[in-house]
A = this chain, B = another copy of it.
């Protein structure tokens, strides 16, 4: 929704009489452009994840996207712009899903927490985006605005939601949950832990993030009733 046109070279206004020249090619410009851009994004994400910002090679991104190096620069001013764009995409997208989670009325604290957290987890798992956390972790300190943005858009809302829910439960007769109200980050700790773990010794004894999270809930709330 935001307009990155300057930085990201959204050149949609540079040639108004577009349709006239090249009558031959009906190859839908905007659709094609969108596809190209998606390919770059995909390729850039993979490359940045594997090598980090400094280690990533524009040539790798290009060839992964099936494009020539020069083409990248038609879409992004430079490597930094590409990196920031990738992170922005990855930061803002999961949030919409998180927000989209159904409100849900009379639920136990554990159920509420699972409702809040599990969609995020599922999203993290799917399509390699799980590792984005690692990417932010890795490069965050060198792109402070992006880290701040991530915190503002994702972290703080989630923390606030957890704190609110937990505080309510504590007030309703569960004072043993108060540490969670003080440090809602504890809720994310198992997920961060598992993500880091899986990124680190790739292959050996991977952790099932959801299982870890369930075990954590069992630890805090006692063993899950049914399931």
State A196–B197 Cα separation when bound (angstroms): 13
Q: Which residues in window 17-49 of A have CB below 8 A to B?
A: 25
Measured CB to CB, the closest approach of chain B to A215, in angstroms, equals 4
State A194–B192 Cα separation when bound (angstroms): 10
Q: Which residues of B contact A141 (CB under 8 A)?
A: 50, 199-200, 202
Select one of B189, B200, B215 contacting A182, CB under 8 A.
B215
Select one of B134, B197, B202 contacting A185, CB under 8 A.
B197
Is A65 among interface residues, defined by CB-CB distance under 8 A? no
Select one of B142, B193, B215 contacting A51, CB under 8 A.
B142
Select one of B177, B185, B202 contacting A194, CB under 8 A.
B185
Is A101 among interface residues, defined by CB-CB distance under 8 A? no
Select one of B177, B180, B193, B207 contacting A192, CB under 8 A.
B193
Which B residue sits closest to A25, measured CB to CB? Answer: B68
User: Which among A77-85, A88-96, A110-118, A216-224 touches the partner chain?
Assistant: A216-224
Measured CB to CB, the closest approach of chain B to A73, in angstroms, equals 13
Q: Which residues of B contact A52 (CB under 8 A)?
A: 52, 54, 138-139, 142
Is A55 among interface residues, defined by CB-CB distance under 8 A? yes
Question: CB-CB contacts of A143-183 with B at 8 A, as 1s and 0s?
Answer: 01001100100000000000000000000000011011011
Is A119 among interface residues, defined by CB-CB distance under 8 A? no
Q: Cβ of B54 and Cβ of A223 under 8 Å apart?
A: no
Is A188 among interface residues, defined by CB-CB distance under 8 A? yes
Q: Cβ of B176 and Cβ of A186 under 8 Å apart?
A: no
Measured CB to CB, the closest approach of chain B to A186, in angstroms, equals 6
Q: Cβ of B201 and Cβ of A147 under 8 Å apart?
A: yes
If A176-B218, A185-B197 are given as contacts, then 5 extra A-B residue pairs at C-beta distance below 8 Å, sorted by A number, are A51-B142, A137-B137, A180-B219, A183-B212, A189-B193
Q: List 30 A-B contacts (CB under 8 A).
A: A25-B68, A50-B141, A52-B142, A136-B200, A137-B196, A137-B199, A138-B138, A140-B200, A141-B199, A141-B202, A147-B200, A148-B201, A151-B200, A151-B201, A176-B218, A177-B219, A179-B219, A180-B219, A182-B215, A183-B207, A183-B216, A185-B193, A185-B197, A185-B207, A185-B212, A186-B212, A186-B219, A189-B190, A192-B193, A219-B220
